[in-house]
Structure 1
Amino acid sequence: MSTRRQFLFIAIATLIGFVSLAPPVVADATRPAILEARVSKIIDGDTFTLSGHSRRIRVWGLDAPEWNRPGGSDATAALRGLISGKTLRCQVRDIDRYGRYVGQCFLPDGRDITAEMIQMGVAREYCRFSRNHYGSC
């Protein structure tokens, strides 16, 4: 075998070896990549449901007070005013321990819901998960 063929054989064998070591790419069938639908119900200041979807959506990167805590009703009212009845586009990033989709969601005009809620002062950035995506950690 010529030196050129030996080199080509070794190069191809090495490439095949690296490819076989890579983890398989598998689509995650348990969650869609993007949801787009009209808001059907506001649960609290960082959770809502979309029409046609049974699973709740938890807004990614947002830490709003619970409804029964100080500021909770203000956060819920602000989210209701911001998204109620609108069609949102949500990039699903995870499923939380309660089975909710965790999504970065956008209004029809492209505004990020988390950024809007932080700007209104009714919630704060959830730095543990957002890693300062919104610049307020």
Structure 2
Amino acid sequence: MKHALARNLRFFATVLAVLLLVPMSGARAEDPRALDAKVSKVVDGDTFTLRGESRRIRVWGLDAPEWDHPGGAAATAVLRGLISGSQLHCDVLDVDRYGRLVAQCFLPDGQDVAAEMIRSGVATEYCRYSRGFYGTC
């Protein structure tokens, strides 16, 4: 009896370990780790949408003023000029509290979108999340 119980416990422990270690098959479809698509709309200085993706993309490591705050229109215009109509490669790093995909995005020539926005002076590095990745914190 003790041996059967021990064997059953080992079996259930093994099954549990496998279930915890193997990713759920649907998780990747809901939260892709990489997106390659054309920009469809620029929302503000750090948020845009991609064709074929229902959720907005929030640029990782970037802090731009909201569109209705001082500097917001300029930040939005610079982002629009930088990425509108471009095919971007975005590595999804997180999902924020608003359901937006937080991603580090790159132009076809490899330029980092956040780095270009910071360099332009219309946005700053979001040090709380980037932890100094862009060297301005």
Counterpart of 1:74?
74
Counterpart of 1:26?
23
Counterpart of 2:61?
61
Q: How many Å apart are 1:34 and its aligned residue?
A: 0.3
Unaligned runs of 5+ in 1: 1-19
Q: Aligned to 2:21, what secondary structure does the other structure show?
A: coil
Q: How many residues align?
A: 118
CA deviation digits over 1:29-53, x for unaligned, max 9? 3310100000000000000000111
Q: Cα RMSD between the aligned structures? A: 1.6
The aligned amino acid for 1:81 is G
How much identity, in percent, do the aligned residues show?
A: 66
C-alpha separation in 2, matches of 1:97 and 1:25: 26
Q: How many Å apart are 1:24 and its aligned residue?
A: 1.6
5 Å-filtered alignment, 1:1-137, equals 24-26=21-23, 28-29=27-28, 30-137=30-137
Normalised by the length of structure 2, the TM-score is 0.82
Normalised by the length of structure 1, the TM-score is 0.82
C-alpha separation in 1, matches of 2:70 and 2:100: 24
C-alpha separation in 2, matches of 1:95 and 1:38: 20
C-alpha separation in 2, matches of 1:25 and 1:56: 28
Unaligned runs of 5+ in 2: 1-16
C-alpha separation in 2, matches of 1:47 and 1:128: 18
